[in-house]
């Protein structure tokens, strides 16, 4: 009798485990399908719904975007000076990986600009939407959106820290006895820590600014003065952008994109940061 009861309980346990596994697998399949559905679809009442401008951050992990983009970076061919038409290539010589990715994503849309490499020229970096990205896997859209979102995030910081609104906050740090010996890199980190709105992206930015290869950049160790601080801060942010967009292997882009942070849209705006810096409104 005991053996029969034990066998029955073992059967129930296996059946429950199997049902749970099946349900989890089904949920994963549904999540992947939802992330890959970038087209408009009809609702029950006959109206049409379209994808939101800001994608679901969970899709970064659902679609294993880090692995997908790593595979793209390692498998995409780079042109050589003597490239033959018989051996086609994709990325141009010395072209940053992010520029190549955006160019290929927008290749069928002549009105879109893919040069997300200069923080003073936001008009050269077009926000991606499913309609302007080339047909293909949804991962192309999520990759392009993350590149654009990172550019937009750094551009907001660049605009605010190089404007007159930032002078009160910068002055306070430079003349504070505890922080008066700050390097330009430490000054930038202190400003981000004190005045950032988005706690997750700011933590990621601080992480990459305090590690290689950015910590060894020329402007990073320079001691700023009140007259040079804003120029140095602008240079540091531009250098950060260049590393993020050109060096996939260093891992900085992955740090900023972790968990879909770049798919969530940034909480920072120039207006908000300007006000916080001018009023020295720390978080």
**C-alpha dist (Å) from residue 214 to 37, 60, 146, 256:** 37, 25, 20, 14
Look at residue 276 and give its three-state secondary structure.
Answer: helix
160-171: per-residue pLDDT in tens?
Answer: 999 999 999 999
Question: 228 — phi, psi (to 5°)?
Answer: -110, -10
Eight-class DSSP state of 216: G
239-264: per-residue pLDDT in tens?
Answer: 999 999 999 999 999 999 999 999 88
User: CA torsion angle for 55, 250, 202, 140 (degrees, to 10)?
Assistant: -10
- Count of residues for the chain? 283
More confident residue, 129 or 254: 254
User: CA torsion angle for 201, 199, 120, 95 (degrees, to 10)?
Assistant: -10
Pick from 140, 147, 92, 142: which is nearest to 124 by CA?
147
Q: Are 36 and 235 in contact (CB under 8 A)?
A: no
pLDDT exceeds 50 at position 159: yes
pLDDT exceeds 80 at position 132: no
Which residues contact residue 11 at a Cβ distance below 8 angstroms, ignoring those fewer than 6 apart?
none
Look at residue 148 and give its three-state secondary structure.
Answer: helix
Secondary structure element (H or E) that encloses residue 41, with its range:
strand 41-42
Q: Are 98 and 76 in contact (CB under 8 A)?
A: no
1-31: per-residue pLDDT in tens?
Answer: 555 555 655 555 556 555 566 877 777 787 7
pLDDT exceeds 90 at position 176: no
Span 52-65, mean pLDDT? 85
Pick from 106, 102, 103: which is nearest to 135 by CA?
106
pLDDT, residue 50, reads: 47
83-127: per-residue pLDDT in tens?
Answer: 654 566 788 888 999 999 999 888 777 677 889 999 999 999 988
Percent of the chain with pLDDT over 70: 80
Beta strands in 160-259 (DSSP E): none
Peptide linkage before 231 cis (omega within 30 of 0): no
Domain ranges of the chain: 151-279
Pick from 168, 175, 204: which is nearest to 189 by CA?
204
- What is the CB-side half-sphere exposure of residue 93 using CA atoms within 13 A? 5
| Band of pLDDT at residue 178, cut at 50, 70 and 90 | low
Look at residue 136 and give its three-state secondary structure.
Answer: coil
pLDDT exceeds 70 at position 198: yes
Span 217-227, mean pLDDT? 81
């Amino acid at each position: 009798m005991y053996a029969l009861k034990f066998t029955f309980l073992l059967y129930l346990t296996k059946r429950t485990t199997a049902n749970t596994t099946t349900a989890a697998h089904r949920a994963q399949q549904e999540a992947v399908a939802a992330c890959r559905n970038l087209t408009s679809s009809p609702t029950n009442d006959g109206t049409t719904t379209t994808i939101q401008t800001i994608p679901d951050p969970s899709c970064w992990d659902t679609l294993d975007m880090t692995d997908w983009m790593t595979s793209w970076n390692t498998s995409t061919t780079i042109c050589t000076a003597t490239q033959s038409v018989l051996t086609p290539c994709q990325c141009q010589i010395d072209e940053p990986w992010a520029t190549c990715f955006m160019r290929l994503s927008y290749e069928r849309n002549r009105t879109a600009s893919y040069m997300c490499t200069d923080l003073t020229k936001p008009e050269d970096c077009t926000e991606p939407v499913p309609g302007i990205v080339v047909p293909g896997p949804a991962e192309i859209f999520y990759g392009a959106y993350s590149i654009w979102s990172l550019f937009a995030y750094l551009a907001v910081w660049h605009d605010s820290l190089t404007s007159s609104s930032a002078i009160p906050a910068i002055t306070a740090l430079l003349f504070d006895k505890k922080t008066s010996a700050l390097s330009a890199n430490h000054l930038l980190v202190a400003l981000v820590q004190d005045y950032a709105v988005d706690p997750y992206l700011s933590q990621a930015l601080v992480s990459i600014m305090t590690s290689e290869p950015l910590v060894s950049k020329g402007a990073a160790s320079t001691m700023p003065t009140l007259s040079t601080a804003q120029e140095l801060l602008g240079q540091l942010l531009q250098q950060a952008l260049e590393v993020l967009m050109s060096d996939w292997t260093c891992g900085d882009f992955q740090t900023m994109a972790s968990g879909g942070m770049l798919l969530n849209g940034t909480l920072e705006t120039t207006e908000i940061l300007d006000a916080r810096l001018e009023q020295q409104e720390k978080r």
